[in-house]
Amino acid sequence: MPELPEVETFRSQVDLEVYNKQVCEIKTSKLMPVLGSINLTKSAAGKKLTKALRFGKYLFIQFEDETTNLVLHFGMSGSLKFNFNGQDQLDQTPDKDQIPQIRSVRKHTHLTLLFADNSTLSYINPRRFGLIMACTNSEVDGIISKLGPDALSEDLNVKYLQGMFKNRTAPIKTVLLDQKVIAGLGNIYVTEILYSSHISPFNPAHLLTDIQIKLILKNIRKILNSAIENRGSTLTDKGYSDLLSKNGDFQKFHNCYGRQGLPCKICKTNIAKALIANRGTYYCPRCQKY
């Protein structure tokens, strides 16, 4: 978390709020330094942000020189925040019960771009499993080349999935989570995709029928697009909110993820939970037999 819909929400909001803003100062963190071949402080200072792109769970922010790229990966707990007045939106006189959350946000901010109009864009990551890089266009191409097709790309089609699944004996859930197979899917959306497809997450990928593969592809597109329209999923831990610190809404439409012990919305059998590759896996034992 964040997965493709959450990163796509960041991307579209960066395009809307930050396009053409000029960077006047860059603040970094020693705990999570900026990697890559380019010195971000020198290369980006004084330049405008002109484009935000996404591939899988990566966000690529390009500057006006068209050769400097800020690459962000959010890992398990990363987020991106835009503030109009140069301060974190939570940095106000708070209620007492809000103070720990505010301190946490300040402590875990690892990159801040300060713009000429005094607004800021900040990368926050408490667990520091993500990535901050400043790199060239060819290095961006190198990152993308190690990934499978983006989950919403036309390159992801039935023929491709047939080829990727045919020799895979691992559970279909494990295969769908592999970023070298499909870029962008994570635990939440794979759970929802398999539930909507009536496919067991334990089913070995090579045993899937053509009909099941077509269902998976159909539900990848349907569920991801719906999640994007709802600005992603904010779970009970409140780990994700969008660029303007507003919660996503797609969790309201989760049919399976996080519903252990609750009745299946189709057959009323209680949703079960198990571990697959050390990932919490929710499924309906009746609707997802095969």
Which positions are catalytic? 2-3, 57, 279
Whether the upstream peptide bond of residue 201 has omega within 30° of 0, thus cis, is no
Token code pair at residue 2: 């964040």
What's the burial of 210, exposed, middle or buried (CB within 10 Å: 0-12/13-18/19+)? exposed
Rounded (10°) CA dihedral 181, 184, 189, 190: 10
**Residue 53: count of CB within 10 angstroms of its CB:** 15
Cβ atoms of 55 and 144 within 8 Å: the answer is: yes
Cβ atoms of 78 and 110 within 8 Å: the answer is: no
**Residue 109: count of CB within 10 angstroms of its CB:** 20
Nearest-angstrom CA–CA distance, 241 and 262: 26
Nearest-angstrom CA–CA distance, 57 and 193: 17
Question: Between the CA of residue 286 and those of 13, 26, 282, 290, what are the distances in Å?
Answer: 40, 54, 12, 9
Helix axis angle for 158-165 and 210-229, nearest 10°, is 120
Cβ atoms of 47 and 22 within 8 Å: the answer is: yes
